[in-house]
Chain A
Amino acid sequence: MPPVLATHELRKRYRGRTVVDGVSLTVERGDVYGFLGPNGAGKSTTLRMVLDLVRPTSGRVELFGRPPSDRRVLARVGAIVESPALYTYLSGRDNLRMLADLSGGAPAARIDEVLDRVDLRDRAGDLVRVYSHGMKQRLAIAAALLPRPELIILDEPTNGLDPMGIRAMRELVRSLAADDGLTIVLSSHLLVEVEQVCNRGAIIARGRKRWEGEVAALLAGRERVRLRARPLDRALAIVGELGGAGREVEPGLAHVTGVVAAALVPALVAAGVEVDEVAPESPTLEDVFVSMVDAAEAA
């Protein structure tokens, strides 16, 4: 069975500038796939190429094994690209009626069902013009869910939402994956979102893919020790003698990798270093992401 979504060496150039450079991604059925990158990294352009809104300069896209130019395949995809795109002079329900019809049709009961799902049924008769940003975002998700898609693509779904809205959106994404079994591609520059919600993902910076794989695997093996000791340079020399590496991140504080705390403490004490703090720490996706983006910037 072909992957739900695959891109092969996707490249896009605008006026001589390469904004997406040979990006290959694979999203398998059931994945909640985080597509991470700083603003301007090429995430939205990649997703637009996936959805046939932008033509690749080279490379190709496959949705369920078919190119997106085969429009029938888009009936299996629900998407929100950047801001929610809705007709503000229509009611929420009328927006859904029209978009459902264009996606192959959906009965009124299905419209009620998705409105319930995003908690908008009570406001469905109001013009979208009076909706808050969060309500528009939820309505856009309802529109994407209408045709019972197998793949949902959400481009920066929490942009502009307040903290409550962000939490609600995160819960909704979790529920779409867990309860509905949908494959989800979630583009974001918010790492906590991806870390909390996604099982697989990719990192893109300056138009190039820097990493793709299991989110857990990305974080595994990157444990470090938080070390506060005096004198710190002596402590870091001992870390080096033990085969590890350390970096002073602020005065008196270093992050150490390659050495476990249990081995480090006796060595430091034996060398007469005063140890104020030794704490094993798991890096966040943000740490990994920042280091990758920094490396890309440096390159």
Chain B
Amino acid sequence: MRHVLKLTRWELWKLARRPSSYVGFVLCLVFAAVALIGFEWSQYKGKKIGGLAIDPSQYLNGPFFANFVLNIGFFALLPLVAATVAGSQLAGEHKDGTLRALLVRPPSRTAVYVAKALASLVWLELMVVFLCGLALLIGHVAYGGGSLLIYIWEYRNAGFWIVPADDWPALLALACVGAGAALAIIVAAALCISAITDNPVVAHVGTLGGFFISSVLQRLPDEIMGPSFKEMLPTRHMNFWHELYRWYHPAGSTVDHHRLWTDVAWCGGLTVGFFVLGLALFRRRDLTG
């Protein structure tokens, strides 16, 4: 345990000192800027949508923009960042030869693996918070503040709802933690592949390939891809954190606890599964070359 904590600290320090670690932050910046440009071109901007009790255009503000960027980024950007950070951990060090320098010292392979997983998760969470915080800042400057309009695709039948200005900071903070936790599955998968290759690109592409295949299969009609099979796909469960928004429904919590805990259990199980598999492979691996 002592070795794990020490190693985690050094792994985070290495991430902080490695210039390539900041590519993800730059991508977050670009992503938020592109989202803002997209917003400016939105056909709904400044228009009242007919048939709704509220006028959504009044709520195009900082918190809405931050939430929008977080939700879109969760599928469009953050998996890429998660796969890149975690996929480089073991494969990148193996390629550079520095993994040897670590493994000829007293800390065990298990300690090295666990420390790299923890450091990747912390770094990823920092990027999630950075993306959301940056979008909040940009949104505030561009559109001002106010209450948060919630519209989640899975709960579209429930329509829009409003979270008051006093409540949305906590909601967004929880959403950041939830999104980071959901992405742990990508970190675990990338680390698992990283444990068996000395080419980080293989880990990046392999993880993202798996993620996008899962996303595509999940969207196929039930007639083509059976629901029981879809239930096993990681992307089927990664939106569990969206239930957090339903805690803040004006009519009181409408959280579907069964769905929530089923998704959490699947995500947790798959994350632990990838983690344990990767660890087992890493412990057995011969470090040649």
A residues contacting B by CB (< 8 A) are 14, 45, 48, 51-55, 71-72, 74-75, 77, 79, 81-90, 94, 98-99, 101-104, 140, 143
Pairwise interchain contact A48-B288, C-beta atoms closer than 8 A: yes
Pairwise interchain contact A77-B104, C-beta atoms closer than 8 A: yes
- Report the separation of the CA atoms of residues A75 and B105 in the bound assembly, to the nearest whole angstrom: 6
- Report the separation of the CA atoms of residues A143 and B101 in the bound assembly, to the nearest whole angstrom: 9
- Report the separation of the CA atoms of residues A74 and B100 in the bound assembly, to the nearest whole angstrom: 13
B98 within 8 A of A: yes
Q: Which of B97, B104, B107 has the most CB of A within 10 A?
A: B104
Contacts of A52 in B (CB 8 A): 103-104
Pairwise interchain contact A83-B6, C-beta atoms closer than 8 A: no
Q: A82-B97, A85-B96, A89-B17 in contact; A51/B104 too (CB < 8 A)?
A: yes
Pairwise interchain contact B100-A81, C-beta atoms closer than 8 A: yes
Least Cβ–Cβ distance between A199 and chain B, in angstroms: 25
Pairwise interchain contact A102-B14, C-beta atoms closer than 8 A: no
Least Cβ–Cβ distance between A42 and chain B, in angstroms: 12
Contacts of A83 in B (CB 8 A): 97
Task: Please name 18 pairs of A and B residues whose Cβ atoms are closer than 8 Å in the assembled complex, sorted by A.
Answer: A45-B288, A52-B103, A53-B103, A53-B104, A53-B286, A54-B287, A75-B105, A77-B104, A82-B100, A83-B97, A86-B101, A87-B98, A94-B17, A102-B3, A102-B10, A102-B107, A103-B106, A143-B101
Q: A53-B286, A88-B96, A89-B19 in contact; A75/B106 too (CB < 8 A)?
A: yes
B13 within 8 A of A: yes
Contacts of A98 in B (CB 8 A): 10, 13-14
Pairwise interchain contact A99-B106, C-beta atoms closer than 8 A: no
- Report the separation of the CA atoms of residues A75 and B108 in the bound assembly, to the nearest whole angstrom: 12
Contacts of B97 in A (CB 8 A): 82-85
Residue from the list B7, B14, B104, B284 in contact with A81, Cβ < 8 A: B104
- Report the separation of the CA atoms of residues A41 and B135 in the bound assembly, to the nearest whole angstrom: 58
Closest to B14 in A: A87
Closest to B288 in A: A54
Total A-B residue contacts, Cβ distance less than 8 Å = 74
Total count of chain B residues near the partner, CB < 8 A: 26
- Report the separation of the CA atoms of residues A82 and B98 in the bound assembly, to the nearest whole angstrom: 11
Closest to B289 in A: A82
Contacts of B286 in A (CB 8 A): 48, 53-55
Q: A71-B107, A102-B7, A102-B102 in contact; A90/B14 too (CB < 8 A)?
A: yes
Taken residue by residue from 29 to 41, chain B's Cβ proximity to chain A (1 for < 8 Å, 0 otherwise) reads as 0000000000000
- Report the separation of the CA atoms of residues A88 and B3 in the bound assembly, to the nearest whole angstrom: 23
Contacts of B17 in A (CB 8 A): 89-90, 94
Pairwise interchain contact B98-A85, C-beta atoms closer than 8 A: yes
Contacts of B101 in A (CB 8 A): 85-86, 99, 140, 143
B residues contacting A by CB (< 8 A) are 3, 6-7, 10, 13-14, 17-19, 96-108, 284, 286-288
Contacts of A79 in B (CB 8 A): 104
Closest 4 A-B residue pairs measured CB to CB? A85-B97, A85-B101, A53-B287, A54-B286
A79-B104, A102-B6 given; 16 more Cβ-contact pairs under 8 Å: A48-B286, A48-B287, A52-B103, A55-B284, A71-B107, A82-B97, A83-B97, A84-B97, A85-B96, A85-B98, A86-B98, A94-B17, A102-B3, A103-B106, A104-B106, A143-B101
Closest to A103 in B: B105
Contacts of B98 in A (CB 8 A): 85-87
Contacts of B13 in A (CB 8 A): 98
Closest to B21 in A: A89
Contacts of A82 in B (CB 8 A): 97, 100
Least Cβ–Cβ distance between A145 and chain B, in angstroms: 13
- Report the separation of the CA atoms of residues A51 and B107 in the bound assembly, to the nearest whole angstrom: 13
- Report the separation of the CA atoms of residues A88 and B14 in the bound assembly, to the nearest whole angstrom: 11
Q: A85-B100, A88-B96, A89-B18 in contact; A71/B106 too (CB < 8 A)?
A: yes
Pairwise interchain contact B104-A74, C-beta atoms closer than 8 A: yes
- Report the separation of the CA atoms of residues A98 and B17 in the bound assembly, to the nearest whole angstrom: 13
- Report the separation of the CA atoms of residues A54 and B286 in the bound assembly, to the nearest whole angstrom: 4
Closest to B112 in A: A102
- Report the separation of the CA atoms of residues A280 and B189 in the bound assembly, to the nearest whole angstrom: 68
Closest to B101 in A: A85
- Report the separation of the CA atoms of residues A55 and B102 in the bound assembly, to the nearest whole angstrom: 17
Closest to A77 in B: B104
- Report the separation of the CA atoms of residues A85 and B92 in the bound assembly, to the nearest whole angstrom: 12
Contacts of A85 in B (CB 8 A): 96-101
Contacts of B284 in A (CB 8 A): 55
Pairwise interchain contact B106-A74, C-beta atoms closer than 8 A: yes
Contacts of A90 in B (CB 8 A): 14, 17
Closest to B10 in A: A98
Least Cβ–Cβ distance between B199 and chain A, in angstroms: 17
